[in-house]
């Protein structure tokens, strides 16, 4: 079987790595891929939004299955483009990817189907939003409606900050057209957990839980990023929480999408907050998380292609997901200055130390191959993932492996998985 993966970051490297273990797969292509992915797949120089080129390539190479991994092409209808040419593709169609593509849509869906989330109002003009703020309780959360690289959320402590936020989203268009509409919602407190799940339109199979670290600096300081590190499982995601989420959040979301005529097939990523009053949905994504995939996929024992095909064919109820009873920690090695301004093109050394290791992996996020050397080529450069019998061991292994890698400008958080210690105390 020939598989094409669309994307080129750490998530896609983790996906390609899982796909390469499938017995059915004979050849993997990745568009555009990166220097790490190139060790497992043939990289094709086509961008993720170039649907005509991607589908022509899939026809020409007789690709049996295409996996569309990033949010932008999914929300823009990549899966529909493949299907229109008679090709099989894994991921939600455009009418279902709206679950991530519009926060106003997802909030309205949750309200209509009683799925627990923060109280909110949607706005399509700044004047009404500013008026609403006058009587709102602070802190308050402002969200640009559309995709904004995970950065379209502003938490405002005071009324004047919130006013500035509304102006920057809706008038100055800080996040571009993503800010044509916005959501203003209640500020919640609690632990955050990510749960990724396979969905076939009616059945949903949640994977093991994970936790991300979105802020750039130690102690959750600094700007929001795409994610600076993850661990899995979350010690706070108890059986009781799982039971609640399956009953009141996961299945109801899948059923709600089906009832709306927007059958969802692919991955639903539930961003949850465990509040005093129970789990609440912070956000939905319509894809694997990055770097959540880097800690979840290495713990999965299933043949991922079999699971993806079951999603497309509506046969997920035949599958038993099986995760190792271990733990994983991923520390992102970034370029100093990320997420704002950083230099690229530095030589990376130490990558060979991961060769043939089966408990330590280095997933490439922003790398390129230049003059026979692997060089930095993005803000997030590498994800160092280690397994361990438990979270503490996995974290120790990950931070040891972080030291194997050197490049100018190397920057990482030192406190990925700090919550693991707090869980011991709780």
What are φ and ψ of residue 178, in 5° steps? -55, -20
Contact window for ligand AMP (CB under 6 A) among 24-32, 182-190, 322-330, 382-390: 182-190
- Residue 264 and residue 200 in contact, taking contact as beta carbons nearer than 8 Å: no
**Least Cβ distance, residue 268 to ligand GLY (angstroms):** 12
Q: Rounded to whole angstroms, how far apart are CA atoms 133 and 163? A: 7
Nearer to ligand GLY (CB atom), residue 58 or residue 273: 273
The label of the residue with tokens 């890698």 reads 405
Q: Is 150 one of the binding residues for ligand AMP (CB under 6 A)?
A: yes
Nearer to ligand GLY (CB atom), residue 292 or residue 309: 292
What are φ and ψ of residue 112, in 5° steps? -60, -35
- Residue 107 and residue 256 in contact, taking contact as beta carbons nearer than 8 Å: no
Nearer to ligand GLY (CB atom), residue 63 or residue 378: 378
Binding ligand AMP (rule: CB under 6 A), the pick from 187, 323, 399, 404 is 187
If contact means CB under 5 to 8 A according to the sort of partner, which of ligand GLY, ligand AMP, none does residue 187 touch? Answer: ligand AMP
Nearer to ligand AMP (CB atom), residue 141 or residue 196: 141
If contact means CB under 5 to 8 A according to the sort of partner, which of ligand AMP, ligand GLY, none does residue 118 touch? Answer: ligand AMP
Interaction mask 245-284, ligand AMP, x per CB under 6 A? --------------------------x----------xx-
The percent helix, strand, coil of the chain (3-state, each to 5) is: 35, 30, 35
Q: 3-state DSSP call for residue 14?
A: helix
Bridge partners (DSSP) of residue 183 are: 122, 143
Nearer to ligand AMP (CB atom), residue 38 or residue 148: 148
- Residue 107 and residue 120 in contact, taking contact as beta carbons nearer than 8 Å: yes
Contact window for ligand AMP (CB under 6 A) among 179-187, 226-234, 339-347, 380-388: 179-187
Nearer to ligand AMP (CB atom), residue 275 or residue 393: 275
Q: Is 236 one of the binding residues for ligand AMP (CB under 6 A)?
A: no
Please state, in angstroms and as integers, the Cα–Cα distance from residue 367 to each residue in 19, 33, 105, following that order: 21, 10, 35
Helix locations, 324-417, DSSP H: 391-402
Nearer to ligand AMP (CB atom), residue 85 or residue 214: 214
Classify residue 202 by burial, with Cβ atoms within 10 Å: 0-12, 13-18, 19+.
middle
Tokens matching residue 275: 């509040």
Helix locations, 39-93, DSSP H: 51-60, 71-75, 78-84
If contact means CB under 5 to 8 A according to the sort of partner, which of ligand AMP, ligand GLY, none does residue 42 touch? Answer: none
**Least Cβ distance, residue 296 to ligand AMP (angstroms):** 17
Give the interface with ligand AMP as residue ranges (CB under 6 A): 118, 141, 150, 153, 155, 185-188, 192, 214, 271, 282-283
């Amino acid at each position: 079987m020939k598989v094409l993966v669309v994307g080129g970051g750490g998530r896609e490297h983790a996906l390609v790595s899982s796909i390469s273990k499938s017995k059915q797969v004979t050849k993997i292509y990745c568009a555009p891929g990166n220097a790490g992915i190139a060790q497992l797949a043939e990289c094709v120089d086509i961008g993720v939004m170039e649907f005509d080129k991607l589908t022509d390539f899939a026809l020409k190479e007789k690709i049996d299955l295409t996996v569309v991994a990033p949010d932008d092409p999914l929300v823009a209808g990549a899966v529909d483009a493949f299907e229109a040419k008679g090709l099989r593709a894994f991921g939600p169609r455009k009418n279902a990817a709206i679950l991530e593509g519009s926060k106003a849509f997802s909030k309205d869906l949750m309200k209509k189907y009683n799925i627990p989330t923060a109280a909110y109002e949607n706005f399509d003009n700044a004047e009404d939003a500013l008026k609403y703020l006058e009587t709102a309780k602070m802190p308050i959360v402002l969200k640009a409606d559309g995709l904004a690289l995970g950065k379209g959320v502003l938490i405002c402590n005071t009324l004047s900050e919130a006013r500035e936020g509304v102006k920057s989203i809706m008038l100055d268009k800080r996040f571009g057209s993503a800010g044509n509409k916005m959501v203003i919602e209640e500020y919640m407190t609690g632990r955050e957990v990510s749960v990724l799940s396979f969905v076939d339109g009616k059945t949903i199979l949640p994977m093991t839980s994970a936790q991300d670290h979105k802020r750039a600096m130690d102690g959750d300081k600094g700007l929001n990023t795409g994610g600076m590190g993850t661990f899995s499982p979350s010690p706070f995601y108890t059986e009781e929480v799982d039971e609640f989420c399956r009953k009141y959040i996961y299945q109801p979301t899948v059923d709600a999408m089906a009832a709306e005529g927007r059958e969802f097939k692919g991955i639903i990523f539930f961003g949850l907050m465990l509040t005093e009053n129970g789990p609440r949905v912070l956000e939905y994504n319509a894809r694997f998380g990055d770097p959540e995939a880097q800690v979840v996929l290495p713990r999965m024992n299933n043949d991922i292609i079999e699971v993806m095909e079951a999603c497309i064919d509506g046969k997920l109820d035949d599958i038993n997901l099986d995760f190792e009873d271990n733990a994983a920690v991923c520390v992102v090695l970034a370029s100093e200055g990320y997420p704002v301004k950083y230099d690229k093109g530095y030589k990376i050394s130490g990558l060979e130390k991961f060769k043939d290791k089966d408990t330590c992996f280095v997933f490439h996020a922003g790398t390129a191959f230049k003059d026979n050397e692997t060089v930095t080529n993005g803000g997030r450069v590498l994800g160092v993932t280690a397994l361990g019998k438990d979270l503490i061991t996995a974290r120790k292994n990950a931070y040891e492996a972080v030291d194997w890698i050197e490049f100018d400008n190397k920057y990482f958080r030192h406190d990925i998985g700090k919550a693991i210690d707090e869980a011991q105390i709780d």
